[in-house]
A and B are shown apart, each in its own frame.
Chain A
Amino acid sequence: MSADAVTRIKAKRTSSGRVAGGKQGLSRGSTIGLHVGLTILAILCLIPMLVVISTSFSSESDVKENGYPIIVRDFSLDAYEQLIGRSSRTIIDAYVDTVMVSGVGTFLSLFACSMAAYVLARRNFFLRTHLTFFIFFTMLFNGGLVPTYIVITQIYSLQDTFWVLVLPLVVVPWYILILRTFMQGISYELIESAKIDGASEFRIFGTIILPLAKPGLACIGLFILLRYWNSWFEAMLYINRSDWQTLQLMLIRMQQRVEAMFDENSLIQTNLRIVDIPSETLRMAMVVVAAGPMLIVFPFFQKYFVRGLTIGSVKG
């Protein structure tokens, strides 16, 4: 943009800072309307989360009598005491497992996806179209459950190992394609000039591409982290050790136990005692404990997230 053009635009601005002409700007009324609407929407989104948190900090008797609270009526830490007291070992183990899997997995996955994306983003790579299609194809068709199970258990013998929770989720075609589009926005001239300066391919990738792709990486990194954090299917299918489970699987199993308890089919009736069923508040406390870390992580990614959201929507 030339200096002249900038001056012209600046001159057009009114003292309120809006672009002259004002047709694109919103009237005060509609701004208020929009804000009220969005605020209501935001509150609606927050309420379920608030109910979960409030219930977890309420006393069981209050929840039974008056239903789920939006704002805590009768504050109590019973649920958390119970949670830590009765199954601290399992919960801490599950936490450690989940953090390890999420940490290692996110790192490996981001690494693999960004490398693949970079290669596909390079216009001078002759297999680019074919490889992109190859990766895209797996989004439409996959091997299905049983063949995947055979590959993982019989060919790689990964069952009951740490890696079975990590490796199946490492490469995500969709994320590769998003990152590819993002990296295509990085000027090819930068790569060329680095080459002229004698940089190797890995150096270009490591010192030029990755820092420039930070917003995209942060955004996809968060997606990947969430995916690992919330994954439970792999643990259910491939982990036979009863003392080894991820947080989400633990939550699911707890819920299943409650449901099985009420199954009127005499065949599934079990000898468990009704007092062994986790109370409402305890279940909510577990949700808070399991989902909490992700709620805390999210704001750290936010500054990248807004930019990251638009990636792929407009080509640089």
Chain B
Amino acid sequence: MRSRMVIAVLLFAMVAGVLSAGGEGESGDGPVELVHYGFSAGDVSDGPEVFGLINEKLGARIGATVDYVDIPGPEYEQRIQVVINSGEAYDVAFTSHWRNNYHVNVSRGAFTDLTDLLPDLAPTIWSTQQGYIDAARVGGRIYAVLNEQIFARSRMTRLPYEWADAAGIVPEEYSDRALFGGEDLYDLDLEMRELMNEVMPEDAVFDGLGPEVAWDKNFIVPIIASQVPGAVQGDVANELRVFNQYKSDAFLELLDYTELLVERGLIRNTDLARDPEAQRQALAAGIHVTPVEPGGTFKPGGEEQGAERWQYLYYENQMTPATLTTTGIIATMLGVSSASENVEKSLEYLEAVFSDDSIYMLYHYGIEGRHHTVDDGFLTVVAGSGYNRGVPWAMGSQFQQIPVAGQPADVWDQTRELNASARQSPALGFAFDPANVTAEIGQTRSVHDEFVPGLMDGSRPRSDYQEFIEKMDDAGAERIVAELQRQIDAWAATR
């Protein structure tokens, strides 16, 4: 008898649990509640309170609130893919070429076509993004809005302040010589390395250059990614001939230069830099030397951001001309789901965020006085206060952000200028459909990862280059190049 009662109670508990859960999930009639999937990198434990304030503003302005689903960055891709594939109704989601791939989503109809709605419903977004938003067009249509930020990509220095000063290096001068003086980038790099070497301790990390430096130096624009074969030459007018950038003279020149650096001990301790913990220590200790940084991109005001990150100040000065590419522009966007029942409200919501700086600031930096302070027009984040999203480029226009203390007051004007003055990739606006060569892309990527890091830091001899190229070809490099050529020709014909 007793056991029967236990069973009855258990069954009741289970059924009640399921039923009550069902009740919570349903939305009633009332003001529209938009569902926005996004991510964060920092502490957002005060999120409910911050979104309470955002929703007050949104309620007053557009008569809707937002249910923001905050997913930690690394989990975002998997979560959003499941949500999209399950056909779940949501409204807005982050998309880009590197996370929640925009073109894949568009090709499978996951996003709503916004082209005709933008001018009326989101006039601010529409007017400020002219000239760039074309990069988001697929078949002439626009399926997402851009989060404005630094669109142009260029290489920069990363030299520890104190050591560079001790070596008598003025990075600004090198920047000028590289950009306007017409001097060879590698000559400048060598000069800086030699000067740094005289003052730096033996255990300092002298990082190698990456292929990205060679591409930017020679205005070669990889189409899919730096690691995947297939690039066009930027400064050749009206020619869209696709080639494997790893077979180019530019890459051979970089290999020669790298060999020279390794011989002279000007690339060293890089195995240490591959270990995250060791790298963290080297960076925080200010003994990490990269006169021309292959990863990362130059941003006005970036030095202060880096100092915040590494707790050490590094000189960041532009070393190559800025370039606008499709991926640079579509690196962070917001799409409206095709499963959304509130497309218009969603656009009104985005317009509200892009045009009301106070919403942007709340969204990224929380409540003033508690999560951040503003003194004399400069922002200071209060550490450990429970809200700092950590990804100010992931939603809205970053130009809405109050400059961080230490950044120049006109940091966003400088950024706009850099965007506007950047040289354009001849394939700007072209979007590659990888469907036919997915396997080849994956395989060439792994060949790249097997060889290139080693070739770049001297842990592989220069003589491995031939094997690298053969393996790349075996992995289908030429098929990717041919497919790219075919698609680019078709795209060029419709322009």
Binding site for B on A (CB under 8 A): 64, 86, 90, 108, 111, 145-146, 149-150, 153-154, 156-164, 167, 202-203, 205-207, 236-237, 240, 242-243, 253, 256-262, 264-277, 280
New contact pairs (5) apart from A146-B86, A205-B3, A274-B280, CB-CB < 8 Å: A64-B281, A160-B25, A266-B295, A273-B309, A273-B311
Q: Which residue of A lies closest to B294 (CB)?
A: A264
A271 to B98, CA, bound (A): 19
* A-B contact number at CB 8 A: 140
Q: Which residues of A contact B74 (CB under 8 A)?
A: 256, 259-260
Give, as a whole number of angstroms, the nearest-CB distance from A274 to chain B: 5
What is the interface of chain A mostly: helix, strand, loop, or mixed? Answer: helix
Binding site for A on B (CB under 8 A): 2-4, 7, 10, 14, 17-18, 20-22, 24-26, 41-42, 44-45, 47-48, 69-75, 79, 82-83, 85-88, 96, 98, 276-277, 279-281, 283-284, 295-297, 305, 308-311, 331-332, 381, 383-384, 388, 390-392
Q: Are B332 and A267 in contact (CB under 8 A)?
A: yes
Q: Which residue of B lies closest to A240 (CB)?
A: B69
Q: Which residues of A contact B305 (CB under 8 A)?
A: 271
Known contacts A160-B24, A240-B69, A272 near B311 by CB under 8 Å: no
Give, as a whole number of angstroms, the nearest-CB distance from B2 to chain A: 8
Q: List 22 A-B contacts (CB under 8 A).
A: A149-B83, A150-B87, A157-B26, A161-B24, A202-B7, A205-B3, A237-B79, A237-B82, A242-B70, A243-B48, A253-B72, A253-B75, A256-B72, A256-B74, A262-B280, A267-B331, A268-B98, A270-B73, A270-B309, A271-B390, A271-B392, A276-B384
What is the interface of chain B mostly: helix, strand, loop, or mixed? Answer: helix
Instruction: Identify which of B69, B82, B283 contacts A274 (C-beta below 8 A).
Output: B283
Q: Are A158 and B18 in contact (CB under 8 A)?
A: yes
Q: Which residue of B lies closest to A157 (CB)?
A: B25
Q: Are A273 and B10 in contact (CB under 8 A)?
A: no
Instruction: Identify which of A161, A206, A264, A269 contacts B21 (C-beta below 8 A).
Output: A161
Q: Are B3 and A265 in contact (CB under 8 A)?
A: no
Q: Which residue of A lies closest to B87 (CB)?
A: A150
A313 to B351, CA, bound (A): 66
Q: Which residue of A lies closest to B98 (CB)?
A: A267
Q: Which residues of A contact B3 (CB under 8 A)?
A: 202-203, 205-207
Q: Are B390 and A270 in contact (CB under 8 A)?
A: yes
Give, as a whole number of angstroms, the nearest-CB distance from A97 to chain B: 15
Instruction: Identify which of A146, A242, A268 contacts B44 (C-beta below 8 A).
Output: A242
Q: Are A269 and B309 in contact (CB under 8 A)?
A: yes
A203 to B2, CA, bound (A): 9
A265 to B327, CA, bound (A): 13
Q: Are B309 and A111 in contact (CB under 8 A)?
A: no
A149 to B82, CA, bound (A): 7
A271 to B407, CA, bound (A): 13
A308 to B380, CA, bound (A): 60
Q: Are A272 and B309 in contact (CB under 8 A)?
A: yes
Q: Which residues of A contact B388 (CB under 8 A)?
A: 271-272
Q: Are A264 and B280 in contact (CB under 8 A)?
A: no
Q: Which residues of B contact A268 (CB under 8 A)?
A: 41, 73, 98
Q: Are B391 and A270 in contact (CB under 8 A)?
A: yes
A253 to B70, CA, bound (A): 13
Q: Are A202 and B276 in contact (CB under 8 A)?
A: no
Known contacts A108-B10, A202-B7, A163 near B383 by CB under 8 Å: no
A154 to B45, CA, bound (A): 27
Q: Are A266 and B297 in contact (CB under 8 A)?
A: yes
Give, as a whole number of angstroms, the nearest-CB distance from B123 to chain A: 28
Most buried by A among B2, B72, B88, B392: B72
Q: Which residues of A contact B83 (CB under 8 A)?
A: 149
Q: Are A262 and B279 in contact (CB under 8 A)?
A: yes
Instruction: Identify which of B10, B17, B73, B280 contacts A163 (C-beta below 8 A).
Output: B17
Q: Are B72 and A161 in contact (CB under 8 A)?
A: no
A236 to B83, CA, bound (A): 13
Q: Which residue of B lies closest to A253 (CB)?
A: B72
Most buried by B among A159, A261, A267, A280: A267
Known contacts A145-B82, A267-B332, A157 near B73 by CB under 8 Å: no
